[in-house]
Every structure is written in structure tokens, then in C-alpha cells.
DNA sequence: TTGTAAGCGTTATCAT
DNA sequence: ATGATAACGCTTACAA
């Protein structure tokens, strides 16, 4: 690999002139510029960015620390970050911690978790990234990031407890208001819930949205219509019987897997989803559109979360300020209305 | 951010001594080492890797160029690369070209495609990566990589036409032999095929496996039992009728979506999959296990492809040789036997 | 055991 | 318009 020095020598000019040509500074005659460009092409010279970065003391790169890339939400978030960064020519330095693979789904309770994050954060700073985006595998409080971190940092798909580290999250509450509102508009007034895990922030926010939607619809909130499951198909299957006992006309499942399980059970019982009963899911996973009937569900704004996270970091980098009041950005979901919701004619 | 110079000054030693401590060279008395370590800790000194890399002229990093991270195969491949690289402490520099997003699924026929790849390849070399792994979104001939590329390069999930650039691909043929063999063992002798696109390398290899399996099972190869579709659910739905007309007892669908569509149609017609007829898919997509009945399918070894690609590159880097004969590594698939295949009792 | 100094490949300042 | 040179933060002979 030739260096700038060799180009200079071959062209019989100084390195300064070559550098000027490469960086499109003026102060170079047309002839020398063209000669230099030609030689650069011939020798296939590639500037050494490592040297350049050292000299200029910036890398124009953003570190992205992902808990586990194989979790469904993360690639789309990274894609959004990439799109935003491309616009301003920032580079991404992606680190995939493989936490699920290493510690299964309780990784954030593992002792080594904090150590790994700190090590990777340190490494990223060693590499002179200018900002950092931490991507969680599901929304929860992310408090592993040191308070005194030296460079702008944001958390995507997770909350932080300080506004200096902004967080970009799903607007679960409003999305749920919309989804339940849709059921109410279709005449449903007795709406059961098969929730996710009780302590999940997603569960909490969606439950709040559920309550508010009922309130707006003048429907009494009935605690007994809520079951807590484990985000899986089996939970949906199991709790459907309880829903039926309570006599609900619609089931709000907090993800598409739960909804799929509910449909399985209803199908077994000969109850037609989208005709005899309404079922809605959440997340808009790939399988949601393949269920029979296709599920009405709420699409997660993963790409937009990434895009916003990139935007926030670039803002912090360039304006040296955090544009949000409280450091939390709620991103809108996209509803998918499909055939799993029936209309109930209201008798007057 | 303090530099090594400031640490040296604070400790009243030379930078050389600090450097020796950081890099665990000997030649330092216990006292000075501990003093230095303490100061490093206090001042939260982080070595500047950019400077280090410039000086040592290596970055211990591998560039990974992904066609589009949001395509289902790619995250797992990256995960495999990550796992392999972690073992030898190589860093990954990931570039997500977002080709699907930019040009839809005909991106590799687009004029800009080659330009983008060359630009990114150049950038990666600018950043002084020591090797490059190109990840294709689906298997095909990848001939955008310049012949005279200066650093070790491999292609994951795609073929190359020169063995200096090894490729790591799915062993589609043998996987299909195994899958069709499973049908034959279960007594099926009239096995229809709903294939993918006619010119896809996946289609070709799986078709060859199909032929060989029939040959081994002494079954005549009947061209009329093969339909070519478009990898989607609709193709499966549509061509199922033709399969039925031909009187097949089993349908080999070249991916799980096609299989899902076939199941839809069979269900409509009141034909029970896994009882009246056998259906197998391919890829082991998430939805395969949610079909009714769950699909027998062939799992793609995506993680292993990534792992192998990492392995190959690291070999090239360290042994300066390419360990394969012909530059192609075929990776084994993992079969998933589920309830969509019935046994046919053979009358003697 | 510790220090001095050259040099990695650039950019940028200041002369010429 | 062009060149000489210092400096970025580090490693590494080699000297002390």
C-alpha cells in the first residue's frame, strides 16, 4: 500500500500538496492536481484513515452497542441508525455483545453483564467514537451506563434514569389507546387482556393505554379481565379459556405469539376469530399476517427508533445539546387492521 | 481525555515506562508499575487505539460488508462471525449497505450496486481492516469484488468465481438429499416439487439433491412433477392444485412460505397435511413451527456459515494461506422433523 | 529499571 | 502555488 509520501515522491511534489489535492483544498494549479490525481489512480493509493483520524482528532464515527443482534427488534433499529448516519456521513462501529447467546434471557441479572458492557464501552471510547448508542433487546431500565461517561450517549429501546442519556422508546401507551379504541369503535365493550410478564415495562405501558381507552369509551375497568402470561403462544392458549368464562367479546393479546395461541384455542373450540370473537395482537411479527384469519396488530416502530436515536446523537454531537425536555422520545407505532376483529351491532 | 504523556508526567516517569506497563511488558519495578496503574485509574486514562494502530500498523479488525442487515439470513451470519472473531480478539467493522431498502430486490442488477460496493470496500481498506467478509442476502455469484483486492477476502452466503476469494455456502444439495430421503423412508414415491425461482442457485442445488435422492431410492425422475414459483406463499397455494392433479403423495416446497401456502390450499380442500399428504418446507423460518401441523423443514446453518467465514479469514490472516482446495466451503443444514409428514404403508 | 528519540501516515501552519 | 516541518498519541529500539 503506497503512502502519501510515495505519491509525493513519484509526482515530485511535497506531501502537503498531495494532501491538499486529496482534501480538495485550493492552492494547487490545475496541472499538478491532475498529475497527482493520475498517479493516485495508477498506484491505487488509499489514504490511511487511521493516520488521518489521529491527526485530525476525530473519527466521525458512532459506536453502537447491541445487546444481541439476533433478537428480532435489533436489526431494524440498527438499520434506522444506519440510514440516519449515512445522511451526515457518520460511520457506525457496531458491537454485538451476544448477551442472549451467552446468558439466555436473564442476562441483565447476570454478574458479568455489567462488566461486559463497561469493557465494550471503554473499548469504543478507545477507538475514539464520538457518540454511543446502546440498543436494548427489550424495553427496560438501562442503568449500566456510567454516569460520568465522557461522550454523548443514548439508549434505543430502553429507558434511562437521567436525561443526559436520552432514551428512545415505543409509544406503547398511545398505541394501545388506538388499538383498544379500534375495538370499542367496533362495538366491543367487554375486552379481556392476556398481558405479558407482570413486571415488563411494555406490559405496564400497554395496560395503562388499555385503561385510558376504556375510560374514554366510558367502559368500567374490570381487573378480573386481565391475565398475565409469558409472551408465548402457550400463554395465549391457556388463558383463552379464562377469557371465555368471563364472557369477553374481544381479547387484547400483548404480542402476536399470545394472539396466535389464543386463536389456536378458539379454533379448537370452534369459535371463529373475526366473526364470533375479536383477537388483536401486538408487534406485527411476520407470522401475524399468516394467522387464520390474519391478525390485527400494532407494528413496532423499530426502524424509526433507530433513526431517531441516530438523530439525537448527531444533534448532541453538532449542537452540543440534547433537544428533548425530559430526555425521553416516544415513537409512534403503526396499526395493521386485518380480519381478526369483528363488528358488533349495538342494540339500542 | 488524558494521554499517555500526561500519565507519564503525573507519575514522573517516561512515556516508555507507562507504555510498558499498559502492554504488560516486563522491565518495570513493582512499585512504579503500581503507581502508574493507580494514576491510570484515577485519571480514567483510556489508551488511544487510533494512535496505537497507526504505530503498530495493525488494527486486528475485519471488515464485514452486508448487503442488507434486515434480510432474515444476515443477522445470524454476523452473529457467527462475531463468535469466531471474539475467540481470537478480532474486531468487526460492520457496514450495512441497505441494498434492499435502496433498490428493492433487483439491487444486484442496478448500475449503482457495483459502485457502492467498491466505495465501501475502499473505505474499509482505508480504515486498515486486515480482512473482509462480504455477506450476500441470498446465494448467487458475487463478482463485484475486484480481482486485485489487496487483503484477504471471503464471501459468506454467496459464490465467487475465483478460489483466492473463498465462499462459504449452504450445502443445499446434501440437505435436500436428506429431506427427500426422509420422505422416501416414509414410503413416499411420488414427490412433487414447488421450487423457487428458476434461475436461483438455491433452486438449482435443491433440485439436484431431489434428483439424486430419487435416484438413490430407485424412483424415476419425472419432470412434470416440478413447478417453479416465486418463493412466496401464493406460489405454494397456486401450484398445489397442479400437484394434486399429478397425484403426488408428498410435496417438497423449496421454502417454508411456499409450504405454508400449500397447506392453506390443502386445508381449504379438506386434505389433511401429515395424514392424507406430506408437505415439507425449507429454511426453518419462525413460522414453520406455527403452521398446522408444524412443518418438517430444513434449517439453514446461518450461524455456522458466519463462524466458518470468520474462521477462514482468520486462517488466511495468520497462516497466510487458504485452507480449502477449491475455495468453497459447504456447510451442513439441520433437519427439523415435525408433523407434516405422514407414513405410507407399502403394500407388498 | 528507566529514559531518549525516531517514526507510523497524515494535516496544518508558516515560509518561500 | 508549493514546500518544510511540527504535531497527533502511541510503540520500540537503543542508550543510560
User: Which residue of chain A is at minimal alpha-carbon distance from B57?
Assistant: A50
Mean per-residue pLDDT, A344-348: 70
Mean per-residue pLDDT, B234-251: 97
Nearest Cα of chain B lies from the Cα of A75 at a distance, in angstroms, of: 6
- The answer to whether the Cβ–Cβ distance between B285 and A285 falls below 8 Å is no
The answer to whether some atom of strand D lies closer than 7 Å to the beta carbon of A14 is yes
Q: Which of residues 29-68 of A touch strand C (CB under 7 A)?
A: 45-48, 51-52, 54-56
Q: Which of residues 287-326 of B touch strand C (CB under 7 A)?
A: none
- The answer to whether the Cβ–Cβ distance between A78 and B92 falls below 8 Å is no
pLDDT score at A326: 86
pLDDT at A218 over 90: yes
pLDDT at A323 over 80: no
CATH for the stretch B4-47: 1.10.260.40
Mean per-residue pLDDT, B131-146: 97
The answer to whether some atom of strand C lies closer than 7 Å to the beta carbon of B32 is yes
pLDDT at A232 over 60: yes
Give the C-alpha distances (Å, rounded to integers) separating A152 from A268, A312, A315.
53, 9, 10
In 3D space, the residue among B274, B179, B195, B288 whose CA is nearest the CA of residue B242 turns out to be: B195
Å between CA of B25 and C1' of D13: 14
pLDDT at A294 over 70: yes
- The answer to whether the Cβ–Cβ distance between B285 and A286 falls below 8 Å is yes
Q: Which of A46, A92, A285 is opposite residue B125, by nearest beta carbon? A: A46
The owner of cell 429454511 is B283
Segments of chain B assigned to CATH 3.40.50.2300:
59-171+302-334, 172-299
Whole-model pTM above 0.85? yes
Mean per-residue pLDDT, B298-319: 96
Say how many C-beta atoms besides its own lie within 10 A of residue B199's C-beta.
9
Q: Which of B83, B93, B292 is opposite residue A93, by nearest beta carbon? A: B93
Å between CA of A313 and C1' of C12: 29
d(CA A336, CA A296): 6
- Hey, what CATH topology would domain B59-171+302-334 get? Rossmann fold (3.40.50)
CA A325 to chain centre: 21
Å between CA of B121 and C1' of D9: 27
pLDDT at B1 over 90: no
pLDDT at A285 over 80: yes
Nearest Cα of chain B lies from the Cα of A47 at a distance, in angstroms, of: 6
d(CA A274, CA A297): 13
Residue A299 in 3-state DSSP? Answer: strand
pLDDT score at A1: 84
In 3D space, the residue among B209, B141, B207, B155 whose CA is nearest the CA of residue B329 turns out to be: B155
Interface test with B, best of A112, A290, A304 (most B CBs within 10 A): A290
- The answer to whether the Cβ–Cβ distance between B286 and A290 falls below 8 Å is no
The answer to whether some atom of strand D lies closer than 7 Å to the beta carbon of A92 is no
Grid coordinates representing B262 are 400449500
Contacts of B255 in chain A (CB under 8 A): none
Å between CA of A3 and C1' of D9: 20
pLDDT score at B347: 59
Å between CA of B5 and C1' of D9: 8
User: Which residue of chain A is at minimal alpha-carbon distance from B100?
Assistant: A79
Query: What pairs with residue B298 in β-bridges?
Result: B335
Å between CA of A90 and C1' of D6: 29
The owner of cell 459464490 is B159
Say how many C-beta atoms besides its own lie within 10 A of residue A192's C-beta.
27
Segments of chain A assigned to CATH 1.10.260.40:
4-47
Nearest Cα of chain B lies from the Cα of A297 at a distance, in angstroms, of: 17
Nearest Cα of chain A lies from the Cα of B260 at a distance, in angstroms, of: 8
The answer to whether some atom of strand D lies closer than 7 Å to the beta carbon of A15 is yes
User: Secondary structure of chain B in the HEC alphabet?
Assistant: CCCHHHHHHHHCCCHHHHHHHHCCCCCCCHHHHHHHHHHHHHCCCCCCHHHHHHHHCCCCEEEEEECCCCCCHHHHHHHHHHHHHHHCCCEEEEEECCHHHHHHHHHHHCHHHHHHHHHHHHHHHHCCCCEEEEECCCCCECCCCCCCCCCCEEEECCECCCCCCCEEEECHHHHHHHHHHHHHHCCCCCEEEEECCCCCHHHHHHHHHHHHHHHHCCCCCCHHHEEECCCCHHHHHHHHHHHHHHCCCEEEECCHHHHHHHHHHHHHCCCCECCCEEEECCECCHHHHHCCCCCEEEECCHHHHHHHHHHHHHHHHHHCCCCCCCCEEEECCEEECCCCCCCCCCCC
Q: What is the pLDDT of residues A49-89, one digit of tens each?
A: 999 999 999 999 999 999 999 999 999 999 999 999 999 99
pLDDT at B325 over 80: no
The answer to whether some atom of strand C lies closer than 7 Å to the beta carbon of A16 is yes
d(CA B109, CA B292): 38
- The answer to whether the Cβ–Cβ distance between A75 and B79 falls below 8 Å is no
The answer to whether some atom of strand D lies closer than 7 Å to the beta carbon of B38 is no
Q: Which of residues 2-21 of B touch strand C (CB under 7 A)?
A: 12-17, 20
Grid coordinates representing B298 are 430444513
Contacts of B288 in chain A (CB under 8 A): none
Question: Nucleotides of chain D within 7 Å of a protein C-beta?
Answer: 1-5, 7-14
- Hey, what CATH topology would domain A172-299 get? Rossmann fold (3.40.50)
pLDDT score at B348: 53
pLDDT score at A347: 60
- The answer to whether the Cβ–Cβ distance between A82 and B96 falls below 8 Å is yes
d(CA A150, CA A133): 13
Where does the pLDDT of residue B323 fall: very low under 50, low under 70, confident under 90, or very high at 90 and above?
Answer: low
Indicate the average pLDDT of chain B. Answer: 95
Å between CA of A261 and C1' of C12: 66
Widest distance between CA atoms in chain A: 94
Q: Which of B48, B49, B260 is opposite residue A290, by nearest beta carbon? A: B260
Residue nearest to nucleotide C8 (CA to C1'): B55
Interface test with B, best of A43, A94, A260 (most B CBs within 10 A): A94
- Nucleotide with C1' nearest the B29 CA: C1
pLDDT score at A105: 85
pLDDT score at B27: 82
The answer to whether some atom of strand D lies closer than 7 Å to the beta carbon of A59 is no
Grid coordinates representing A162 are 437521567
**Percent of chain B topping pLDDT 90:** 91
Mean per-residue pLDDT, B193-216: 97
pLDDT score at B128: 97
Nearest Cα of chain A lies from the Cα of B19 at a distance, in angstroms, of: 15
Mean per-residue pLDDT, A231-256: 97
Residue predicted with more confidence, B348 or B62: B62
Q: Which of residues 47-106 of B touch strand C (CB under 7 A)?
A: 51, 54-55, 57
- The answer to whether the Cβ–Cβ distance between B233 and A290 falls below 8 Å is yes
The owner of cell 452473529 is B79
Question: Nucleotides of chain C within 7 Å of a protein C-beta?
Answer: 1-5, 7-14
Contacts of A151 in chain B (CB under 8 A): none
> Are residues A96 and B82 in contact, defined by beta-carbon separation less than 8 angstroms?
yes
> Are residues A280 and A297 in contact, defined by beta-carbon separation less than 8 angstroms?
yes
Mean per-residue pLDDT, B53-80: 97
d(CA A23, CA A37): 12
CA B169 to chain centre: 7
- The answer to whether the Cβ–Cβ distance between B1 and A150 falls below 8 Å is yes
> Are residues B173 and B209 in contact, defined by beta-carbon separation less than 8 angstroms?
yes
Indicate the average pLDDT of chain A. Answer: 95
Amino acid at each position: 500500500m503506497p503512502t502519501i509520501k510515495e505519491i509525493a515522491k513519484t509526482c515530485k511534489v511535497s506531501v502537503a500538496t498531495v494532501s491538499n489535492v486529496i482534501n480538495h483544498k485550493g492552492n494547487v494549479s490545475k496541472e499538478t492536481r491532475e498529475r497527482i490525481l493520475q498517479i493516485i489512480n495508477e498506484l491505487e493509493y488509499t489514504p490511511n484513515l487511521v493516520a488521518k483520524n489521529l491527526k485530525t482528532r476525530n473519527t466521525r464515527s458512532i459506536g453502537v452497542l447491541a445487546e444481541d443482534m439476533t433478537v428480532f427488534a435489533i436489526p431494524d433499529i440498527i438499520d434506522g441508525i444506519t440510514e440516519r448516519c449515512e445522511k451526515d456521513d457518520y460511520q457506525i462501529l457496531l458491537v454485538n455483545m451476544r448477551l442472549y447467546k451467552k446468558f439466555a434471557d436473564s442476562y441483565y441479572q447476570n454478574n458479568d453483564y455489567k462488566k461486559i458492557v463497561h469493557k465494550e464501552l471503554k473499548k469504543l471510547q478507545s477507538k475514539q467514537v464520538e457518540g454511543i448508542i446502546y440498543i436494548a433487546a427489550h424495553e427496560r431500565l438501562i442503568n449500566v451506563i456510567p454516569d460520568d461517561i465522557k461522550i454523548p450517549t443514548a439508549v434505543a429501546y430502553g429507558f434511562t434514569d437521567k436525561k443526559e442519556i436520552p432514551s428512545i422508546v415505543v409509544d406503547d401507551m398511545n398505541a394501545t389507546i388506538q388499538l383498544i379504541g379500534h375495538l370499542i369503535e367496533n362495538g366491543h365493550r367487554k375486552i379481556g387482556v392476556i398481558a405479558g410478564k407482570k413486571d415488563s415495562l411494555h406490559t405496564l405501558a400497554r395496560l395503562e393505554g388499555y385503561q385510558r381507552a376504556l375510560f374514554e369509551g366510558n367502559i368500567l375497568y374490570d381487573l378480573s379481565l386481565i391475565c398475565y402470561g409469558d409472551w408465548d403462544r402457550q400463554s395465549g392458549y391457556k388463558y383463552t379459556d379464562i377469557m371465555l368464562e368471563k364472557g369477553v367479546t374481544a381479547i387484547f393479546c400483548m404480542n402476536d405469539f399470545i394472539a396466535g395461541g389464543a386463536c389456536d384455542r378458539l379454533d379448537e373450540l370452534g369459535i371463529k376469530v373475526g366473526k364470533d370473537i375479536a383477537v388483536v395482537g401486538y408487534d406485527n411479527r411476520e407470522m401475524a399476517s399468516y394467522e387464520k384469519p390474519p391478525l390485527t396488530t400494532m407494528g413496532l416502530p423499530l426502524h424509526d427508533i433507530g433513526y431517531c436515536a441516530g438523530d439525537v446523537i448527531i444533534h448532541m454531537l453538532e449542537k452540543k445539546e440534547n433537544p428533548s425536555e425530559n430526555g425521553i422520545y416516544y415513537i409512534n407505532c403503526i396499526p395493521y387492521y386485518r380480519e381478526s376483529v369483528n363488528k358488533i351491532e349495538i342494540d339500542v
